[in-house]
Chain A
């Protein structure tokens, strides 16, 4: 179809393939200051499984949307860089899994979701938390374990929540049945919504995922299973972990679609298609987003024992989801360099300010140790480390399911 794109479908063979994007129609009728209000591009072909037709590879974006997408992509990158630094300063403790390199997956999917749709993801949850409505302070202060954090600092890196966003989950693969259950609730309550349940290529081999592929298809649940294939489950490459690395086909009887996860517009297009598929009563769909993680699996992993620095460098230079999107919208005259620069400096300020708050903020008082263990606590007291000084239970959060 677009030979120049097909050329470099696989991760390994990637060259500057975003450069091969065809700017099909960058100039539309209403021009102001020589800038377009909408531009169209060709994406890499989608790969389909058990689908007669897929989304169009011809995608367009308005100036307004382009700026919004860019803002989201850049904010996540900036926030993750800040998170990494906070970790190195030993202010963030324990786990910290960075999303840098994978931003286009979340941003593209979010752009296709409606108000009634839900999301649940794995432990790499910072970017999604921000996209689902939590500001950088809520994310970064959660990482530093302070009271302005999304879960008042009690959840940590992997446990953040928002309206229609059911977390972060620290157990590899466990969020996928939960997401299927959220999709079940959408259907049961006739909300018209879908649930996006995300997992990595590592989790893709978990048995419970196959269990819920089966149930979701059997019951036609509006669930979009998204496998973010970043090439490695911790330090094990997909080839060393999966007998089939065609993750979009691994739902077997569940239709699937492969999309270039470094291309935010392609992800948005595929996600719109997936939402339409689910809401038309056809049941679930699997979407594999081919992406890459720049950082190690977590902060304790330098990320270089199982892959080369050159490989990371090459992806950064040739496939980076932010640089490529920036070049496209600049080349299409959709936005000006000045506009992006202004946006970037606003984002830098927002994130820098958030970092300051996340560092300076207080931790919650000690009595919150035993707050919100139960929505309705029936224990008369909560046992302390010794029986001589029992603690009392308190309620603080809104408990949305009373």
Chain B
């Protein structure tokens, strides 16, 4: 328990250790700890940002989906309407065509009838004339009717 030069030795050792610690131990550890702290903070921030972005994206996706559904429904409705319209149109056209064809047929039937009647009429006239001629031929006596014929000759 004597105070001796150990004191000096211990002091020198102490200063050397402190110097070494200050030069090679403390700064790198503190620097690395600081860096890691920053990294962790950054990572957490990035995670938070990612979560936020994911939320936004899922919201956007839902919106898109909704929009697409709406659009599809619209398109289907439109198509239905168009189809109904087309059917209506086709119906209309078909009816008109039918009516037209019926009208044409009726007209041509009427025409034929008229023509047949006409032909019949002319034939009836001819037959009547021929019948009359035959009757007349048997009836008419040139001598008895000479004066009549003469009268006509004179009128000419």
A binds B: no
